[in-house]
């Protein structure tokens, strides 16, 4: 995997980076799109609520933009100024992605126990801070926020497998 350049870098450096790493970037973005399908399936399996679908679609749209923009840069090999502009779009989409992650983790736990909701608030705070700070060049949470999101999804998955919600347990007993 490669870490994509941000708009803080010059257009020349951005264009050179994409030129030098085009194949790896392409593979990385395609894998991201495939992984998105798995995430959509996971999110649709969660107990539905008003905010969950909105959060999911915000996540999907922003994730697709963060995948498509680098593919456009690789495919079109734009001039340095255009590479810089497209990278700025990708940076903004990346911030939107982390805001949607914050919304998703909170929406996914609205009916969950307090301890899990509290954990979701911590993850949402980290992702929200990362979303706002990153465009200003503050990279303190660039590595941490995605990892705690993945860890949270793992904890939520395990919790749902071990102790399903009352709604799921009720429907399972009425099906028998």
Which residues, at least 6 apart from 159, have a Cβ–Cβ distance to it below 8 Å?
A: 112, 116
Instruction: Let me know if residue 6 belongs to a domain.
Output: no
**Residue 5 lies inside a defined structural domain of this protein:** no
**pLDDT tens-digit readout, 6-61:** 888 999 999 999 999 999 999 999 999 999 999 999 999 898 888 999 999 999 99
Kindly state whether residue 1 falls inside one of the protein's structural domains.
no
Number of domains the chain contains: 1
- Rounded Cα distance between 150 and 39, Å, is 11
Q: What is the structure's pLDDT at 174?
A: 52
Q: Decide if 2 is inside a domain.
A: no
Q: Is the pLDDT of residue 172 over 70?
A: no
> According to the model, what pLDDT value does residue 3 have?
86
pLDDT over threshold 80, residue 165? no
Does residue 3 lie within any of the structural domains? no
Are 119 and 152 contacting, i.e. CB atoms less than 8 angstroms apart? yes
pLDDT in tens, 98-143: 999 999 999 999 989 999 999 999 999 999 999 999 888 888 888 8
Measured in whole angstroms, the distance separating CA 120 from the mean position of its chain's CA atoms is 15
With respect to residue 141, please indicate whether it lies within any of the assigned structural domains.
yes
- Asked if residue 1 has pLDDT above 90, the reply is no
Q: What's the domain range around 40?
A: 11-175
């Amino acid at each position: 995997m490669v870490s994509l350049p941000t708009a803080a870098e010059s257009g020349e450096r951005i264009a050179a980076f994409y030129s030098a790493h085009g194949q790896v970037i392409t593979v990385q973005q395609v894998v991201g799109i495939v992984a998105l399908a798995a995430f959509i399936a996971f999110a649709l399996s969660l107990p539905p609520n008003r905010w969950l679908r909105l959060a999911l679609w915000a996540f999907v749209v922003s994730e697709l933009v963060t995948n498509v923009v680098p593919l456009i840069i690789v495919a079109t090999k734009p001039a340095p100024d255009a590479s810089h502009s497209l990278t700025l779009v990708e940076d903004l989409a990346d911030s939107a992605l982390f805001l949607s992650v914050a919304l998703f983790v909170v929406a996914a736990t609205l009916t969950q126990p307090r301890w899990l909701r509290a954990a979701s608030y911590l993850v949402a705070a980290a992702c929200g801070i990362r979303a706002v700070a990153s465009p200003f060049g503050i990279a303190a949470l660039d590595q941490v926020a995605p990892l705690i999101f993945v860890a949270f999804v793992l904890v939520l998955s395990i919790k749902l497998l071990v102790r399903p919600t009352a709604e799921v347990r009720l429907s399972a007993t009425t099906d028998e």
